[in-house]
Amino acid sequence: MKKTLALILALCMVFSFCAVSAYADNDFKLTMRLSHVFGPTEQLAISIQEAADNIREKTNGAIDIQVFHSSQLPTYKDGLEQVASGANFISVEDPSYIADYVPDFNVLVGPMMTSSSDEYEYLINTDTVKEMVKKLEADNIKVLALDFFSGYRFMKTNKEIYTPDDLKGMKIRVPKSQLFVDTLNAMGANAVPIGWDETLSAVTQGVVDGLEGTMDDFLNDGSGEVASVGSLTNHFIGTCGVYFPLNVWETIPEEYQTIIQEEFTASAQRMIEKINSSYEETKAKLEATGHTFNEVDTDAFAKAVAPVYENMKGVTPGLYDEFRAAIAEFHAAEK
């Protein structure tokens, strides 16, 4: 009996210790503000909110990520500066914006570099891109994802565009990213960088002749109301990364870090599946309301944007060829 009692007491002590260890960080609380430009009905906004809600639930409220959509808080370059400065701020942006810190990201998401989410996923899992991600930590930027994929970006205007010549003289709205400006200019347009909150009125008032974006954008961001013709240039991958201040990340208990990373990773993968599986359905919905789509001379546009890579500043020599070779290897392995 004494041995049994001693064993029970010993087990109680072990379970008590485990319970204390498991909840040792019960006093830890962190509130982060997350900002992006997307409207609440767009898939990226839905997927990001899903990740934030899951993180809050799985950490019992210890990590509270408050999501601000539609440019309510700083976005684009200003949002990344908040992260780099160490604020309690998460930026969700196209990877071209982190190219201000590590220029090689311009090559990763450059014009017509990839043509599918599978190709892009392969690239971001290479050692080269992982090293690029690591370099960002010198600027206090922790990358939690690079693949909140919304589809490939194409021209949205009110006329059919087939070649770069068709874009001559047309003013096209682009985000405030130098890569976007350089690319649209190379494609034959006059790129006009405008914040999203001013874009639809700019098209309506004739300040610009159109814009560019993804099929999901076209259906959900209001651009379908001001432009009815989609010319499928597919010049950029539509993707966003999630960027977290490293100094804040390092204060978070490891168990919570794991949850945060897992939820953003899983949410991005679900978004990729959703966007890819719904593309034709989304296109059909738009066509049913009078929108039209046309193919373009892809080779002509690829030739037009080639100088964009030649003129990129600060990038690693040979990186373009390395990425193209990696994509070729990816397809060879599929066969």
The predicted pLDDT at position 306 comes to: 97
Instruction: Give yes or no for a contact between 156 and 223, defined as CB atoms under 8 angstroms apart.
Output: yes
Q: Which pLDDT band holds residue 25 (cuts at 50, 70, 90)?
A: low
Distances (CA, A) of 129 to 25, 114, 136, 302, 326: 33, 14, 11, 23, 12
Which of the pair, 17 or 294, is modelled with greater confidence?
Answer: 294
Which of the pair, 2 or 274, is modelled with greater confidence?
Answer: 274
Which phi and psi (to 5°) does residue 310 adopt? -65, -30
Instruction: Show Cβ contacts of residue 84 under 8 Å, excluding neighbours closer than 6 positions.
Output: 101, 139, 140, 141, 245
Lowest mean pLDDT among 23-27, 180-184, 241-245: 23-27
Q: Which pLDDT band holds residue 335 (cuts at 50, 70, 90)?
A: confident
Is the pLDDT score of 10 beyond 60?
Answer: no
Instruction: Give yes or no for a contact between 191 and 172, defined as CB atoms under 8 angstroms apart.
Output: yes
Is the pLDDT score of 266 beyond 60?
Answer: yes
Q: What is the pLDDT of residues 54-88, one digit of tens each?
A: 999 999 999 999 999 999 999 999 999 999 999 99
Q: Which residue has the tokens 């639809």?
A: 200
The predicted pLDDT at position 85 comes to: 98
- Work out the percent of the chain whose per-residue pLDDT is above 70: 93
Neighbours of 273 (CB within 10 A): 12
The predicted pLDDT at position 8 comes to: 42
Is the pLDDT score of 15 beyond 80?
Answer: no
The predicted pLDDT at position 331 comes to: 96
Is the pLDDT score of 174 beyond 60?
Answer: yes
Q: Quick check: pTM over 0.85?
A: yes
Rounded mean pLDDT of 144-163?
Answer: 98
The predicted pLDDT at position 26 comes to: 76
Domain boundaries, the chain: 29-334
Q: Which pLDDT band holds residue 24 (cuts at 50, 70, 90)?
A: very low
Neighbours of 44 (CB within 10 A): 27
Rounded mean pLDDT of 21-35?
Answer: 78
Q: Which pLDDT band holds residue 97 (cuts at 50, 70, 90)?
A: very high
Which CATH homologous superfamily contains domain 29-334?
Bacterial extracellular solute-binding protein, family 7 (3.40.190.170)
Is the pLDDT score of 19 beyond 80?
Answer: no
Q: What is the pLDDT of residues 124-150, one digit of tens each?
A: 999 999 999 999 999 999 999 999 999
The predicted pLDDT at position 318 comes to: 98
The 3-class secondary structure across the chain, one letter per residue, is CHHHHHHHHHHHHHHHHHHHHHCCCCCCCEEEEEECCCCCCCHHHHHHHHHHHHHHHHCCCCEEEEEECCCCCCCHHHHHHHHHCCCCEEEEECHHHHHHCCCCHHHHCCCCCCCCHHHHHHHHCCHHHHHHHHHHHHHCEEEEEEEEEEEEEEEEECCCCCCHHHHCCCEEEECCCHHHHHHHHHCCCEEEECCHHHHHHHHHCCCCCEEEECHHHHHHCCHHHCCCEEEEEEEEEEEEEEEEEHHHHCCCCHHHHHHHHHHHHHHHHHHHHHHHHHHHHHHHHHHHCCCEEECCCHHHHHHHHHHHHHCCCCCCCCHHHHHHHHHHHHHHHHC
The predicted pLDDT at position 334 comes to: 85
The whole-chain average pLDDT of the chain stands at: 93
By DSSP bridging, strand 141-157 and strand 292-294 are unpaired
